[in-house]
């Protein structure tokens, strides 16, 4: 209950609506009972929802806006990262409203007046409004659809079944899974924007829990066509999805023991994958999305699929860099040869943090692409991360000196393609360790200049 009473402006909410009919509902009550963090409160106001909420937000100076005037939906933002979502009653009674929801665990409600005075979760039970027996399902971690029409009313709920599986560690009741199979084709009716939101929440969770039910219900086959879009990529590969689940278990330490990365490199990967892009997509989820595509996927096809799914440009840029780094890594590793220090540094110069991710990007079937077994690939990852995170002060100091302006001052060369290519070549040679002094850099610059002059003269 502490999370609720510490929710921004919760006290103001209780005082303003004291004595009036207002209910906390749905995911808010579910998460409260599970002891999860609360970042949004879902509330129902049966009468004059928009009028009352607008008066409340003006009086308390809380920013907000109507999300759906016809349905009486209003969102207020009491603090950064928190929302209050107010909705008018959908039906004639609260019971009817709750029966119109998706799953029994989300059809719970409690009066705001009653919950305002409750300090301990054990005191919540007598006040709980639970017409679908949702608390029992929540206690048993079971996802049960209230009515099969729920999937017809909003086909996105077909995906939400699996999102709740991976986020709440739940199982799906068999009859519900049968309804998913029956209505699975309707998923294509959902807009890409809504689909991608649910997809990446699934990818961010305990994905291995949902893999077999998604395959057995046939939903993954439909989802795979949405993921591929117009690209023509064959992502309908249950075996790859199963391998992805096994790979996740290996990578995150829930499967068979493997040679471990050093604690420092484990920490680096953990921090890297925690990063969040716009739309609350984590790099962890984006990487799992990347692994849904076969290693041989053409970059343009991957980009086309991402556009069709309306992924943001930031995500597309990262995916493209991972793809390019992986493709170059495969070239260096053929035929199953170890990566030299020079090759490792060359990759890191061009792709930096994408190189260790490229190593992991071969993790589902490394033998197919490189001939390397998984353990060898893990050792390669360790070596790449060590090189990435090893400070080389002399090279870094030299890289600070050698710039386009430096070359222009030395040679009189003007801005253009030649300058860019010379600069790139020299800086790469510094990073790989071929050039160690400023004098060597100058000699290399003049050698490149002379070769270009000779080429243009011939």
Q: What is the 3-state secondary structure (H, E, C) of 162-214?
A: HHHHHHHCCEECHHHHHHHHHHHHHHHHCCHHHHHHHHHHHHHCCHHHCHHHH
Domain count, the chain: 4
Query: Is residue 411 domain-resident?
Result: yes
Q: What is the pLDDT of residue 370?
A: 63
Query: Is residue 249 domain-resident?
Result: no
Q: Is the predicted pLDDT of residue 335 greater than 70, yes or no?
A: no
* Domain limit, last residue, from 102, 123, 140: 140
Where does the pLDDT of residue 222 fall: very low under 50, low under 70, confident under 90, or very high at 90 and above? very high
Query: Is residue 18 domain-resident?
Result: yes
The better pLDDT of the pair 360, 335 is held by: 360
Where does the pLDDT of residue 371 fall: very low under 50, low under 70, confident under 90, or very high at 90 and above? low
Query: Do 324 and 421 fall into the same domain?
Result: no
Q: Is the predicted pLDDT of residue 300 greater than 90, yes or no?
A: yes
* Domain limit, last residue, from 111, 140, 169: 140
Query: Do 201 and 329 fall into the same domain?
Result: no
Q: What is the pLDDT of residue 375?
A: 79
Average pLDDT estimate for 7-25 = 94
For residue 2, give every residue at least 6 positions away whose Cβ sits within 8 Å of its Cβ, in sequence order, or none. Answer: none
Where does the pLDDT of residue 260 fall: very low under 50, low under 70, confident under 90, or very high at 90 and above? low
What CA–CA distance (Å, rounded) separates 157 from 218?
A: 15
Query: Do 6 and 134 fall into the same domain?
Result: yes
Query: Is residue 239 domain-resident?
Result: no
* Domain limit, last residue, from 88, 109, 140: 140
Q: Is the predicted pLDDT of residue 4 greater than 80, yes or no?
A: yes
CATH number at residue 149: 1.10.110.30
Query: Is residue 14 domain-resident?
Result: yes
Query: Is residue 244 domain-resident?
Result: no
Query: Do 44 and 16 fall into the same domain?
Result: yes
Q: Is the predicted pLDDT of residue 434 greater than 80, yes or no?
A: yes
Where does the pLDDT of residue 292 fall: very low under 50, low under 70, confident under 90, or very high at 90 and above? very high
Torsion over CA of 233, 237, 239 and 244, rounded to 10 degrees?
Answer: 60
pTM of the model: 0.90
Q: Which of 53-62, 120-129, 422-431 has the lowest mean pLDDT?
A: 120-129
Q: Is the predicted pLDDT of residue 73 greater than 70, yes or no?
A: yes
Where does the pLDDT of residue 21 fall: very low under 50, low under 70, confident under 90, or very high at 90 and above? very high
Q: What is the pLDDT of residue 252?
A: 73
Where does the pLDDT of residue 257 fall: very low under 50, low under 70, confident under 90, or very high at 90 and above? very low
Q: Is the predicted pLDDT of residue 259 greater than 60, yes or no?
A: no
Q: pLDDT over 70 for what percent of the chain? A: 95
Query: Do 274 and 352 fall into the same domain?
Result: yes
Domain that holds residue 93: 1-140
Q: What is the pLDDT of residue 426?
A: 96
Q: What is the pLDDT of residue 39?
A: 94
Query: Is residue 234 domain-resident?
Result: no
Q: Is the predicted pLDDT of residue 254 greater than 60, yes or no?
A: no
Query: Do 135 and 155 fall into the same domain?
Result: no
Per the prediction, the chain carries an average pLDDT of 91
Query: Is residue 233 domain-resident?
Result: no
Average pLDDT estimate for 280-309 = 93
Q: What is the pLDDT of residue 232?
A: 87
């Amino acid at each position: 209950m502490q999370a609720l009473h510490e929710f921004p402006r919760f006290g103001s909410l209780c005082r303003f609506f004291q004595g009036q009919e207002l209910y906390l509902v749905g995911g808010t009550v579910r998460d409260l009972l599970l002891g999860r963090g609360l970042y949004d409160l879902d509330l129902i106001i049966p009468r004059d929802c928009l009028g009352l909420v607008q008066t409340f937000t003006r009086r308390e100076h809380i920013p907000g806006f109507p999300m759906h005037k016809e349905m009486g939906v209003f969102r207020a933002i009491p603090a950064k990262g928190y929302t209050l979502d107010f909705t008018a009653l959908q039906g004639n009674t609260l019971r009817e409203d709750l029966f119109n929801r998706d799953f029994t665990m989300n059809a719970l409600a409690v009066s705001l007046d009653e919950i305002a005075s409750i300090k301990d979760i054990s005191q919540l039970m007598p006040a709980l409004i639970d017409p679908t027996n949702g608390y029992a399902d929540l206690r048993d971690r079971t996802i049960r659809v209230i009515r099969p029409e729920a999937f017809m009313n909003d086909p996105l709920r077909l995906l939400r079944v699996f999102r709740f599986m991976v986020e709440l560690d739940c199982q799906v009741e068999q009859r519900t899974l049968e309804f998913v199979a029956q209505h699975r084709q309707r998923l294509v009716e959902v807009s890409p924007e809504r689909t991608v939101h649910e997809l990446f929440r699934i990818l961010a969770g305990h994905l291995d829990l949902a893999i077999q039910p998604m395959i057995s219900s046939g939903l993954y086959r439909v989802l795979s066509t949405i993921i591929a879009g117009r690209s023509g990529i064959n992502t309908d590969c249950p075996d790859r999805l199963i391998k992805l689940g096994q790979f996740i278990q290996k990578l995150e330490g829930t499967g068979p023991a493997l040679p471990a990365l050093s604690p420092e490199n484990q920490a680096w990967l953990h921090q890297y994958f925690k990063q969040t892009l716009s739309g609350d997509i984590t790099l962890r989820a984006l990487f799992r999305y990347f692994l849904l595509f076969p290693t041989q996927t053409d970059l343009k096809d991957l980009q086309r699929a991402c556009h069709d799914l309306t992924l943001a440009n930031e995500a597309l840029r990262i995916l493209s860099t991972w793809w390019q780094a992986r493709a170059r890594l495969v070239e260096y590793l053929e035929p199953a040869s170890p990566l030299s220090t020079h090759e490792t540094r060359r990759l890191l110069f061009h792709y930096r943090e994408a190189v260790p991710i490229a190593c992991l990007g071969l993790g589902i079937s490394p033998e197919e692409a490189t001939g390397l077994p998984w353990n060898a690939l893990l050792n390669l990852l360790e070596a790449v991360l060590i090189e990435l995170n090893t400070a080389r002060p002399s090279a870094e100091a030299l890289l600070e000196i050698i710039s386009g302006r430096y070359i222009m001052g030395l040679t009189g060369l003007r801005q253009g393609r030649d300058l860019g290519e010379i600069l790139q070549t020299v800086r790469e040679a510094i990073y790989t360790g071929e050039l160690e002094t400023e004098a060597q850099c100058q000699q290399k610059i003049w050698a490149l200049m002379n070769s270009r002059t000779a080429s243009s003269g011939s």
